[in-house]
Amino acid sequence: MATSTVENYLKSILRLQRRSGSTAVGEVARELSLTPGTVTTMMRHLSGEGYVDYQPRRGLRLTPDGESAALRVVRRHRLIELFLVQVMAMDWTEVHEEAEQLEHVVSDRLIDRMDEMLGRPTRDPHGDPIPDAEGNIVAMEALPLAEVESGMYRVVRVSDQDPDLLGWLDEKGMTIGEEFELSHCNRAAGVLEIVREEAERLQMGMQVAERVFVESVSA
């Protein structure tokens, strides 16, 4: 019964608290492009509803209720994204925005139909894990390409937010599952280079490499 606005707050908090287990008013405000005052007001409200544990000036975190509500939204979002790509033949560059809207209105019934039709999938088109109906989610341990040593890797996840990034990756064939070797990595220059079959080279900037998550291939 949470409004779309509330669902979006919960989703953001879930993302932001992933690292340290908690987050702050300012982070949420930045994430949602709102003023801190707006977020403070909402945190008081969500705290009253039992969705977040909010200690003024100390920080905030989701309660178990808040977390399961957030996971329900994430599940919807990711199933919808996969559905749009697999069934509707839409492009992975354009499904994020669409899912962002649909996630707040599709019924449980329809979500389950999608889930069934897709064979109870565990990953969305960008490699993000899809929580099951109980909120269980497969942990992802992948590191950003920007933070690993030279070696052989496989793309397991990419950030789904930016259509331009996704478009470029797609064009270069850097989709989920793609394997390659990280050859040079000049952190100072902010550039790194990878090599794929046929000695094909590809350079990319660090802002890109921050958003491509890889796992090591035991060649």
The one among 109, 139, 177, 199 contacting its own copies by CB under 8 A: 109
Structure tokens at 115: 């889930």
Among DNA, its own copies, none, residue 205 binds (CB under 5-8 Å by kind): none
Cβ atoms within 10 Å of 143's Cβ, excluding its own: 13
97 sits near its own copies (criterion: CB under 8 A)? yes
Closer CB to its own copies, 74 or 156, in the complex: 74
Element housing 97 (H / E) = helix 95-102
Closer CB to DNA, 55 or 150, in the complex: 55
Closer CB to DNA, 36 or 121, in the complex: 36
Among DNA, its own copies, none, residue 88 binds (CB under 5-8 Å by kind): its own copies
Q: Of 217, 203, 100, whose CA–CA distance to 155 is shortest?
A: 217
41 sits near DNA (criterion: CB under 7 A)? yes
Q: Which amino acid is at 66?
A: G
Structure tokens at 120: 């109870």
102 sits near its own copies (criterion: CB under 8 A)? yes
Residues 6+ apart with CB under 8 A from 202: 172, 174, 180, 193, 194, 195, 196
5 sits near its own copies (criterion: CB under 8 A)? no
207 sits near DNA (criterion: CB under 7 A)? no
Residues 6+ apart with CB under 8 A from 153: 145, 179, 180, 181, 182, 214, 215, 216, 217
95 sits near DNA (criterion: CB under 7 A)? no
Q: Which residues bind its own copies (CB under 8 A)?
A: 84, 87-90, 94, 97-98, 101-102, 104-107, 109-110, 113-114, 117
